[in-house]
Structure 1
Amino acid sequence: MNQLRTSKIEKNWHLLAGGDREGLYECFDLFYDDLFRLGVALYRDVDLVQGCINELFLELWKIRERLKEVQNIQQYVITIFKRLLYKASNGAKVVLFDEAVHMELTQSSYEEMLIALQTDEGLKAKLQVAMKQLSGRQMQLVQMRFYEGRGFKEMAEVTGLTERTIYNTLHNALQVLRKEMD
């Protein structure tokens, strides 16, 4: 973080801690893009992230008298934000924070993140339509294999089918999905 931004954050943080609404609004503006990118990278849910950012700043306003004691402002804000996200998501699975996510967070603009999300949502919608083309048995086996992570042996025990039949049925299902996704 550059020195000018750090000093702006500190100045407005002290205004916020002193009960100045303008300090709250400025802190919101200074933190919003970073929090948005972090939240979307972790949960891929724009509404959840935006709601938690708003809730974060409402919470900061409520506890403003205690904010004077904060030493590392940015870490404090991120920690509260992550807790709010986790709580609001009811423990939904978090995307693992790896090098790709780090690059996405540091290099993507707000607009690029929205475009990526819309593309992701478009693919999900296309997949849902494609899944409707599968037979009931194909759907069941795709669900067991790819959503539940079951092996062929376990699937055979549950369904009463042979492993070879399961393999062939999944192969045919994947061909249908590939055709529909093109």
Structure 2
Amino acid sequence: MHDKFSESRLWDSFKSGDKDAFKAIYYKYYMLLYKYGVKTSADEDLAEDCLQDLFLKLWKNRENLGEVASLKSYLYRAYIRMLFEAIKKSRRVINLAELNHPLEESSIEESMIQNQDQQESSQHLHQALKHLTKRQRQVMLLHYFEGLSYKQIAEILPIKYQAIRNCVHEGIKVLRKNIASRSG
């Protein structure tokens, strides 16, 4: 894993036109960003197209890019912008709640019941997520689905640390309230 110094050197090499540095950045962050894009858009093709566009744009504009404090945060921010712009343009619905839990070995009936329960839970969560603000959905996705800390989210989104904590706290309250009212 690269430390800040080697990431900085990698970024500088990339900006100078070093194709190996570009490949290193691409291979290190591609799958991480792709998984985030698929969870956000629920559209593998859109997520991949935006990611390809991002790396193409980075390569074409490499000489004009500035310094970055955190390469991961920089790439997330750039990708989020591209992804949400593409979603807006295509007017696609963001599906944040497709949770896939592996089934244990069981009978066909148990599997069907478990699958139905999962679908109902997923539908409840999806409906509850619709009650969150756009910002709350973004923060919740980054924190719970991507496992990012509040500090990392603050580096990616233009939101202060305390506002992120508040978003998560309020988001959880909204989700609990809406899920409880649907399942009760």
Could you tell me the TM-score, scaled by structure 1's length? 0.49
In terms of fraction of residues, the more helix-rich structure is 1
Could you tell me the TM-score, scaled by structure 2's length? 0.48
Rg larger for? 1
